[in-house]
A and B are shown apart, each in its own frame.
Chain A
């Protein structure tokens, strides 16, 4: 029961959310926060045993003969669930300020879909086999469509269509056959330490299978299936922040890592050199997306392309098939989550307070919104991989893992991309703090003076920014926790 609870808790909040409705907005948001807090505490209670090496599991019923529906905790999923739950609380807090400050419609629908999406994320994080994971993967796609199209405008509809089209198309056309093929070859879909595919098929077949997985997991946003992510930016900012920087995209790369580590097994990937091409596709994506990001003036779009690029770091970490790479990938899921959610929070705060969406309009805004832009700067440093941001450690491990695998070209790609990160992220806080505000703007601002965004939003973004610094100072628990993932199954 305690393993099912993370999935049920967010769902259990829904009747209360609906009952509270628009009329009792405070009560509704309190329910959301309470559910988040309960969820996080519950996961926190489960976590220590898992990080020490326990693998509690449950099978609820047989979904199909031989394939159970159930959950099994392991370090990577546990960590992911913890991060998502913690950030759900932060996002709810943020959303209170944002949605009210922005006078959004249909807020109850918003919170309801949000809860379903979190429930699906928990299900995916804790799934015991590939099919259970797939079920929640698809549930997540559907539950987030109403969030993407929240504004109901033509643009939102177009974005929603691209979003659904690519995510559903790739999962039906590639991921589902990949799962079926794996089931056909191995006769099981359970996530097993060391993988399930050893000795089941020849190399070409396994290559095909990996390709189906790699492009089928559209949420990992490997090029050329990355376009849904910028399209999803029409959503309200809390959605972009939690779902398109944390939950949805991380379910993508998480699934990818699970497949690489627990279905193929790092040893098998390494021996047969199955995933070298995937590492290069990821390398290409991370450079290309960074380059695109440099030329985006719309802040949220720039962050979206940055996300595409950072996701490929994680895929690359898994695909180089070394234990340091896999560890770095796992850590980067958490590090990037805290960093990117802060950036999105800031983007939303700027929008609510100053009604600005373009990078070129931000000159001198730092003086009015010091907390927001300080948080932005810290988070940007973490994403780039500079102190005092936690991203330093995961990027270090990723680089080490890539060096271990001997792909010098990929190592170079990682380094170049980090420079590109500097080039597209750091100018934003620098402009805000150092550039002179334009004169015309000044005149307008006389009429509409503004400071920071609503208080709950500022608290939320300061909290997540503080987390990135905390993860810089104390990364060891994270590292220890994830070691269990590779020690049992990876190369020594």
Chain B
């Protein structure tokens, strides 16, 4: 049945569609084509998600080779949720992008741009779906290389240096990952993640495994932009085309976070990571420092894209903090925030993309008086900002609730206190933009061109989702709780 092939179709559809884009060439045709492809991809992950929720994990043996010899795709409660996020984001952002690239990418490059974009989507989906750790590396490189290209296609020439900076850091990260995988293979002779977990020697017997853990976690942390390995992120997000920033902010770091979860909990296990490697002591200082430093830096930014990029680094800190508790509540917090942050940050970047489309500028000065000139866009930005602060009735509140609850459960009062304080920092940096937009008079020299409905609709879809999931929380919270239980070795 087709259902059995869904895991592989999930990756194959966008991967094969990419060269077709190049064949099609014409800007209009390609732009319609990618919408269809993204819809199909989303449908695929929707089917997978419902199947996994009803019947438990799905496996797929590539080429009929049984694991652990062949490559296995395996979808469980955690990555089914992640697939849904990635393909959902692609399905919302691509229709937006088919408008926004009109002003950002030369027409004759549209087909190349969108082809690379689909490759990037395929790479991210591949990382999520595969159960083979070397295959993870391959897909990571696919998504990384394509994202370097996507960032480099930004309008400003500084996009090139940003992409180059990302390339250097990203390559270091992938190399670390490869070294880690090599060490593990040397010690266990297998690459299947479930199999690796079974054959993992106890930590006190093998310093090789400890080295592998170090390489893998640092490598992923670079990709994830954990403070202080975040240096590539602000420039990359600032200078990339709007739709690329929104998509990468919503998915790329999330996939890296997923990878960190998989490596820590599935491959090495809670015992190894928390009792032998003391992640619960190692990560919180980094996460908290990241939250505070990045939020503080965000306050002083005048370029709004850059401001949101620093905010992303801070938000990654929250996710890592959730992971560092190593408890069911902590993991739930991390995974819920993965979902919520994907929704809210992409909506914020889409809103800024609309501003960029209308004015051609995204600095604080350009934002003045926009509350009246672009009411729909700025209302969406305002709601996204409230999400970041964690105001009740928004999705951000739910993340914060679980995060602080997890800290209280372990009686880490200071961590709980810091989380709360940091949300006040978010209130300051969002407040600056909102004040400029709603309380200052517009700059008369800037003329705003109207934003097409095709861009506003995806923006409001995401904004609506961030409100919807802030009120009816059962879907993200339920999915996150199932995933957290799975990672900690519980049912499904």
Contacts and interface: CB of A to CB of B under 8 A. Distances in A.
Nearest to A168: B427
A135 interface: yes
B202 interface: no
B436 to A, nearest CB: 12
Given A177-B416, A180-B404, A62 B474 contact: yes
A157 B416 contact: no
Contacts of B423: 172
A138 B477 contact: no
A176 B439 contact: no
Contacts of B405: 180, 183-184
Pick from B439, B472, B477 the residue with the most CB of A within 10 Å: B439
A173 B427 CA distance: 12
A359 interface: no
Contact of A176 (B386, B398, B404, B481): B404
Contact of B393 (A139, A169, A173, A180): A139
Nearest to B481: A65
5 contacts: A142-B386, A169-B427, A172-B390, A172-B420, A172-B423
Contact of A134 (B392, B404, B417, B439): B392
Q: How large is the interface on B (under 10, 10 to 19, 20 to 34, 35 or more residues)?
A: 20 to 34
A177 B417 contact: yes
Contacts of B401: 64, 180
A135 B404 contact: no
Interface string B413-432: 00011001101100100000
B472 A139 contact: no
A16 interface: no
Nearest to A160: B439
A403 B9 CA distance: 77
Interface string B5-17: 0000000000000
Contact of A184 (B408, B427, B473, B477): B408
A135 B392 CA distance: 5
Given A139-B392, A172-B423, A184-B409, A177 B439 contact: no
Contact of B420 (A138, A139, A176): A176
Contacts of A64: 398, 401, 473, 477
Nearest to A134: B392
Contacts of A139: 392-393
Given A135-B393, A142-B391, A172 B424 contact: yes
Interface string A141-180: 0100000010010000100000000001100110011001
A152 B439 contact: yes
Contacts of A211: none
Given A168-B427, A172-B424, A173-B420, A180 B408 contact: yes
A138 B392 CA distance: 7
Interface of B: 386, 389-393, 398, 400-401, 404-405, 408-409, 416-417, 420-421, 423-424, 427, 435, 439, 471-474, 477, 481
Pick from A135, A142, A149, A176 the residue with the most CB of B within 10 Å: A176
A181 interface: yes
A142 B382 CA distance: 12
4 cross-chain pairs, A with B, having the tightest CB-CB distances, nearest first: A135-B392, A184-B408, A138-B392, A180-B404
A63 interface: yes
A52 B380 CA distance: 46
A295 interface: no
A65 B408 contact: no
B439 A149 contact: yes
A134 B472 CA distance: 16
Nearest to B428: A165
Nearest to A157: B439
Nearest to A62: B474
A152 B369 CA distance: 12
Nearest to B408: A184
Nearest to A173: B420
Interface in A57-73: 61-65, 69
Contacts of B439: 149, 152, 157
Nearest to B391: A138
A149 B439 CA distance: 9
B424 to A, nearest CB: 6
A149 B435 CA distance: 12
Contacts of A149: 439
A135 B401 CA distance: 13
A61 B475 CA distance: 13
Contacts of B391: 138, 142
Contacts of B420: 172-173, 176-177
Given A134-B392, A142-B391, A63 B421 contact: no
Contacts of A169: 424, 427
Pick from B400, B408, B409, B435 the residue with the most CB of A within 10 Å: B408
Interface in A217-266: none
B272 to A, nearest CB: 29
B485 to A, nearest CB: 13
Contacts of B409: 184
A63 B395 CA distance: 11
Contacts of B386: 142
B404 A173 contact: no
Contacts of B416: 177, 180
Given A142-B391, A172-B389, A172-B423, 7 more contacts: A135-B392, A138-B391, A138-B393, A149-B439, A169-B427, A177-B416, A180-B416
A112 to B, nearest CB: 14
Interface in A76-91: none
Nearest to A141: B391
A65 B417 CA distance: 23
Pick from B391, B472, B474, B477 the residue with the most CB of A within 10 Å: B391
Nearest to A181: B408
A177 B390 contact: no
B468 to A, nearest CB: 12
Contacts of A134: 392
Contacts of A177: 404, 416-417, 420
B412 to A, nearest CB: 12
Contacts of B400: 176
A142 B379 CA distance: 14
A173 B408 contact: no
Nearest to B421: A173
B393 A61 contact: no
Interface string A277-298: 0000000000000000000000
A64 B398 CA distance: 8
Given A149-B439, A180-B404, A183-B405, A63 B471 contact: yes
A184 B481 CA distance: 18
Nearest to A176: B420
Contacts of A173: 420-421, 424
A201 B401 CA distance: 21
Nearest to A183: B405
Interface string A36-65: 000000000000000000000000011111
B477 A65 contact: yes
Nearest to A156: B439
B390 to A, nearest CB: 7
A172 B428 CA distance: 13
Contacts of A184: 405, 408-409
A135 to B, nearest CB: 4
